[in-house]
Amino acid sequence: MLNEKLAGLPISGIRAFDVIGSTNDEALAWCAQGSRDGCLVIADEQTAGRGRFNRRWVTPRGTALAFSLIFIPSAAETERLALFSPLGALAICHALEDHLGLQPAIKWPNDVLLNGRKTAGILVEAAWLGGRLQGIVVGIGVNVSPAAAPPDDQVLFPATSIEQVLQRRVDRFDLLRAILKALFDWRARLHTPEFFAGWEQRLAFKHQWVKISPDSQQAAQEQTLTGELLGIDASGNLLLRLESGQVKAISVGDVHLRPVL
């Protein structure tokens, strides 16, 4: 059924699992073995998935999408590796908009929100052999049914699922096709003005006051910043107007973004 659902897409290989630890780990290993561009790893249940800061992302059986897509970057794309994360977020947003009529937002740099709650996350990892880039793995997790969304007391940012928002069932594999199609479509526009406009148009908390705080491992060395979220620059950095009036560019790294309540 999966091959039928994905027919016509430039998928060059598929490894599908009933249960796996991490689709990203499998995809990285595939890169090391010499995968082709457009190879897909997907699992019905993921027991040791991870997000940013190595946080666990568990996918209960049959409740979500958990997959990793391998890209072999061109020379131009290699100079823009940081954009593969918002590429994943943009693709999810377009699939949710065009396929389901939803209005998602992107919590910089790469979480997708519905009604202000996290619905999807992206983890991009690179496979290297010495100084040579073997490939980029775009790992995506999407909460489809309510059982996929952890309770609020187990997460740092509240979560939801697509079916909770829509109040109806969703075909996971139709959604998978829509996301993969959008990934390939937007990849062709990586780093174009249209790419950045699409990203900024969906930016969550724009013109609202937010807090940017360091990861707990860095907290002793770095301070929390509070300011108005203005947008993003041409490098994908977040632009924050501080209380002093200074505009500061925040690079993607070990930081957390939260709205000021």
Q: How many CB atoms lie within 10 A of CB 139?
A: 26
Supply the pTM of this predicted model. Answer: 0.91
* Average pLDDT of the segment spanning 113-129: 93
Q: Is 148 found in the same domain as 225?
A: no
Q: Is 225 found in the same domain as 194?
A: no
Q: Is 159 found in the same domain as 81?
A: yes
Q: Is 59 found in the same domain as 180?
A: yes
Q: Is 143 found in the same domain as 254?
A: no
pLDDT at 38: 97
Residue 232 is part of which domain span? 209-259
* Average pLDDT of the segment spanning 122-140: 91
Number of domains in the chain: 2
pLDDT at 59: 75
Q: Is 175 found in the same domain as 107?
A: yes
Of all residues in the chain, what percent carry a pLDDT higher than 70?
Answer: 91
* Average pLDDT of the segment spanning 216-234: 75
How far apart are alpha carbons 30 and 75 in whole angstroms? 21
pLDDT at 51: 54
Q: Is 11 found in the same domain as 52?
A: yes
CATH code at position 180 = 3.30.930.10
Q: Is 196 found in the same domain as 250?
A: no
Helix, strand, coil percentages (3-state) for the chain, rounded to 5, are 30, 35, 35
Q: Is 234 found in the same domain as 108?
A: no
Confidence of residue 255 (pLDDT cuts 50, 70, 90): low
Q: How do residues 68-83 score in pLDDT, each as one tens digit?
A: 999 999 999 999 998 9
Burial class (CB in 10 A: 0-12, 13-18, 19+), 154: exposed
Q: Is 104 found in the same domain as 228?
A: no
CATH code at position 222 = 2.30.30.100
Q: How do residues 149-194 score in pLDDT, each as one tens digit?
A: 887 776 778 899 999 999 999 999 999 999 999 999 999 999 899 9
- How far is CA 203 from each of CA 112, 206, 232, rounded to the nearest angstrom? 9, 6, 9
Confidence of residue 220 (pLDDT cuts 50, 70, 90): very low
pLDDT at 68: 97
Q: Is 249 found in the same domain as 178?
A: no
pLDDT at 221: 47
* Average pLDDT of the segment spanning 225-242: 91
What SS3 state is found at 21?
coil
How far apart are alpha carbons 204 and 114 in whole angstroms? 10
Looking at per-residue confidence, does 149 or 24 come out higher?
24
Q: How many CB atoms lie within 10 A of CB 165?
A: 19
Q: Is 152 found in the same domain as 55?
A: yes
Cis? peptide before 109, omega within 30° of 0 = yes
